């Protein structure tokens, strides 16, 4: 069972910490704000008030024994960088850090973060795509060139097979899965028929996805 330490329990960090705890994992949360610690005390395994930029404090808390460290300090860039560095130096295998800008993200990678997340930027991208077309339910950037989108099937697709839709040739897109109520059809076949209410999980180049967005 993996153990997680979440440092910085603002909106993002506390959401991660609570979710992991509710999934049944051990979660140590650290924040220097006493009120935040009190508010979260009953919602995670341990909540400790401490300044995480102090290496000795982190050592004393046994942070080195955790499998995954999440650094969710956004505003105070210096603290975010210091804590990420300390976690890597203590030997935590996987450290995820939240960045508030591209430059901040680059620095976090340079000092050893295994993954950097940009919650505001990424959520902004998702919401924007959903606003352009309400049929775009989710949008996940895989790289600067490729993304995965979830698209609610439009009426002109209903009762047609994937072969008839021919998205690969017409749009350069691959349908990876079809969500139908609670069911997920993974790697659908050419003969699978799209029904009203289906959600298509599609992967492709951003330029092709953008064309489809305008169409749906």
Q: Which residues here bind ligand ADP, judged by CB under 6 A?
A: 7-13, 30-33, 36, 51-53, 72-76, 79
CB of 94 to ligand ADP, least distance (A): 20
- Residue nearest ligand ADP (C-beta atom): 10
CB of 119 to ligand ADP, least distance (A): 7
CB of 76 to ligand ADP, least distance (A): 5
CB of 50 to ligand ADP, least distance (A): 6
Cβ proximity to ligand ADP, 75 vs 143, nearer residue: 75
CB of 185 to ligand ADP, least distance (A): 36
Q: Chain-centre distance of CA 98, in angstroms?
A: 11
Give every CB contact of residue 112 below 8 A, 6+ residues apart in sequence.
84, 85, 88, 95
Cβ proximity to ligand ADP, 92 vs 199, nearer residue: 92
Cβ proximity to ligand ADP, 28 vs 209, nearer residue: 28
Cβ proximity to ligand ADP, 118 vs 157, nearer residue: 118
Burial 107-118 (b: 16+ CB within 10 A, else e): bbeeeebbebbb
Cβ proximity to ligand ADP, 21 vs 157, nearer residue: 21
Order of all β-strands in the sheet with 146-152: 136-141, 146-152, 199-205, 174-180, 183-186
H-helix or E-strand spanning residue 141: strand 136-141
Residue 119: phi and psi, rounded to 5, are -60, -45
Sign of CA dihedral 152, 154, 159, 161: negative
Cβ proximity to ligand ADP, 73 vs 173, nearer residue: 73
Sign of CA dihedral 183, 209, 135, 194: negative
Q: Which of 141, 110, 142, 97 is nearest to 123 (CA)?
A: 141
CB of 17 to ligand ADP, least distance (A): 11
Instruction: Give the integer Cα–Cα distance in Å for 148 and 183.
Output: 19
């Amino acid at each position: 069972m993996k153990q997680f330490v979440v440092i910085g329990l603002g909106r993002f960090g506390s959401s991660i910490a609570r979710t992991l705890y509710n999934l049944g994992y051990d979660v140590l949360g650290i924040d220097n704000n006493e009120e935040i610690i009190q508010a979260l005390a009953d919602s995670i395994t341990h909540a400790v008030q401490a300044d995480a930029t102090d290496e000795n404090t982190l050592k004393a808390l046994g942070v080195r024994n955790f499998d995954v460290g999440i650094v969710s300090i956004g505003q105070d860039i210096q603290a975010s960088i210091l804590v990420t560095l300390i976690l890597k130096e203590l030997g935590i295998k996987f450290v995820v850090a939240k960045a508030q800008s591209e430059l901040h993200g680059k620095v976090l990678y340079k000092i050893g973060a295994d993954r950097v997340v940009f919650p505001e930027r990424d959520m902004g991208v998702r919401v924007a795509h959903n606003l352009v077309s309400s049929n775009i339910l989710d949008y996940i950037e895989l790289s600067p060139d490729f993304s995965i989108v979830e698209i609610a099937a439009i009426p002109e697709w209903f009762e047609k097979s994937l072969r008839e839709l021919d998205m690969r040739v017409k749009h350069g897109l691959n349908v990876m899965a079809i969500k139908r109520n609670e069911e997920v059809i993974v790697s659908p076949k050419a003969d699978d028929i799209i029904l009203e209410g289906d959600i298509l999980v599609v992967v492709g180049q951003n330029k092709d996805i953008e064309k489809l967005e305008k169409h749906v």
